[in-house]
């Protein structure tokens, strides 16, 4: 039987068709997805996903940060924790973490070589699991092989037909803030989007949600009632202090001040959500001390969300890629840099709500450099610059090769608009 190298495994995924959303919705676009091929692949592998315990994380924004908080806290409580997140910024390996460490090239190749023969068998039957279905299946094989006590699974898109939704009923189902994104797939109203994301809720789980808009709360309450599961909401944190080194905050159910090194005004809310999730995990039999909780919150790191990568001038990178992401980014910039205008480096996918995002960010702008995102769905740098210029803000296309050209006359630099953009930036 052929053995694939790591490089050959990566090349296999690069040659698979990538997701391209439909131009028009019409009907129920999410129903064009099916998990049948993924389930067929899992069946051939002996259903490894059934042998693990899960925290399942859906929502529009904050999924990655919340997952990282949960995983780090459990790790500090001496559990072996797998974490599956997407998309990756630089390598596929980033999607698979055990106790905070990316999967090695050798293990990636080894797991791929376990899964690939069964993929080939299905291909002979003209059944073709997609790129993300295979990647998700590999996560189950890897996390089972590593003996993980808990696996934190982040939904890629939606929930009901997401590739992660083949798992059995999780210990906790988590819903981060829901907003408008992927409307051509998930629906044009918050209720429709929430219904797709609530598709992860299964009988036997417990649901923990961030604060939501009323129409989202209504959907979650209805689904939880139908599934006969408890619904809990995270407490609203009170900020004690914040600066460019971290944030101190308090929540009602914890009697003393907590800290996180993550910046961004929204991160304390993600931390509070993770705390409520840990509370429910403890109810299922896991032991997590207050010390482990406190240390886990403080140690959690999540690159790409209001991350400061240089000091002089401050350079912030943020992967917010929808209206809610742009709104919380703007709020954070106003909070941390109230006296400064911002020099933006923006790259945005053309199927996003570009004008809505610009409405949030441009009032803060000193000037804007536009880039193309390394994704077929990118808006061209020229088109984005023209759109910004038409709003009365100076803008010009930028290659991203020499950030010093941007730094010359900048007080604060913010690189934002897409997670995919971050992988193409060159910063010394």
* Residue 377: band (very low, low, confident or very high) from pLDDT cuts 50, 70, 90: confident
pLDDT given at position 18: 65
Indicate whether 404 pLDDT > 80: no
Do residues 51 and 148 touch, judged by C-beta distance below 8 A? no
Name which residue leads in pLDDT, 86 or 200.
200
pLDDT given at position 399: 78
Mean pLDDT of 222-229: 97
- Percent over 90 (pLDDT), the chain: 76
How many degrees, rounded to 5, is the angle at CA 344 between CA 343 and CA 347? 165
pLDDT given at position 25: 43
Do residues 414 and 343 touch, judged by C-beta distance below 8 A? yes
Helix (H) or strand (E) holding 253, with range, is none
pLDDT given at position 26: 46
pLDDT given at position 58: 96
pLDDT given at position 185: 53
Per-residue DSSP letter, 378? B
Spatial distance between the Cα atoms of 426 and 396, rounded to a whole number of angstroms: 18
Mean pLDDT of 167-176: 98
Indicate whether 255 pLDDT > 90: no
Q: Is 112 helix (H, G, I), strand (E, B) or coil?
A: helix
The sheet that has 307-311: what strands, in order across it? 307-311, 314-318, 412-416, 342-346, 365-370, 395-397
Name which residue leads in pLDDT, 253 or 164.
164
pLDDT given at position 157: 81
pLDDT given at position 224: 98
Across the chain, mean pLDDT equals 91
pLDDT given at position 426: 52
Characterize 193-209 residue by residue with b for buried, 16 or more Cβ atoms within 10 angstroms of its Cβ, and e for exposed: bbbbbbbbbbeebbbbb
Mean pLDDT of 253-264: 93
User: How long, in residues, is the chain?
Assistant: 428
Q: Please count the helices (runs of H) and the strands (runs of E) in the chain.
A: 15, 17
Burial of residue 4, with CB atoms counted within 10 A of its CB: 0-12 exposed, 13-18 middle, 19 or more buried: middle
State pLDDT tens for residues 40-99: 999 999 999 999 999 999 998 899 999 999 999 999 999 999 999 988 888 999 999 999
Largest CA distance in the chain: 64
């Amino acid at each position: 039987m052929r053995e694939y190298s790591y490089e050959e495994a990566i090349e296999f995924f690069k040659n698979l068709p990538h997701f391209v959303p439909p131009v028009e919705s019409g009907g129920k676009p999410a129903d064009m997805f099916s998990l049948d091929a993924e389930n067929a692949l899992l069946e051939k592998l002996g259903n490894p996903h059934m042998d693990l315990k899960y925290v399942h994380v859906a929502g529009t924004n904050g999924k990655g940060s919340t997952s990282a908080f949960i995983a780090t806290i459990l790790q500090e409580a001496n559990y072996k924790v797998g974490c599956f997140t997407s998309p990756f910024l630089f390598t596929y390996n980033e999607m698979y973490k055990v106790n905070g460490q990316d999967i090695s090239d050798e293990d990636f190749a080894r797991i791929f070589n376990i899964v690939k023969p069964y993929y080939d068998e299905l291909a002979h039957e003209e059944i073709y699991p997609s790129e993300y279905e295979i990647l998700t299946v590999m996560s189950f094989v890897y996390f089972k092989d590593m003996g993980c006590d808990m696996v934190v699974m982040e939904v890629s898109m939606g929930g009901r037909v997401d590739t992660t939704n083949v798992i059995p009923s999780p210990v906790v189902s988590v819903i981060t803030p829901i907003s408008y994104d992927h409307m051509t797939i998930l629906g044009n109203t918050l209720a429709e989007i929430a219904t797709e994301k609530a598709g992860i809720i299964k009988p036997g789980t417990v649901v923990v949600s961030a604060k939501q808009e009323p129409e989202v709360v209504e959907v979650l309450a209805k689904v939880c009632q139908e599934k006969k599961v408890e619904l809990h909401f995270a407490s609203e944190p009170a900020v004690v202090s914040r600066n460019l080194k971290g944030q101190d905050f308090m929540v009602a159910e914890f009697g003393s001040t907590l800290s996180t090194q993550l910046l961004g005004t929204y991160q304390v809310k993600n931390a509070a959500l993770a705390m409520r999730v840990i509370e429910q995990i403890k109810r299922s039999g896991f032991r997590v001390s207050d010390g482990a909780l406190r240390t886990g919150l403080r140690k959690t790191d999540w690159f790409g969300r209001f991350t400061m990568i240089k000091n002089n001038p401050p350079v912030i990178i943020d992967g917010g890629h929808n209206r809610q992401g742009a709104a919380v980014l703007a709020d954070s910039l106003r909070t941390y840099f109230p006296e400064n205008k911002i020099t933006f480096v923006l790259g945005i996918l053309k199927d996003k709500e570009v004008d809505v995002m610009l409405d949030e960010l441009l009032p803060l702008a000193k000037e804007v450099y536009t880039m193309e995102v390394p994704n077929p769905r990118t808006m061209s740098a020229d088109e984005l610059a023209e759109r910004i210029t038409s709003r009365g803000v100076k803008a010009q296309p930028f290659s991203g090769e020499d950030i010093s050209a941007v730094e010359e006359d900048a007080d604060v630099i913010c690189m934002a608009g897409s997670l995919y953009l971050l992988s193409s930036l060159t910063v010394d």
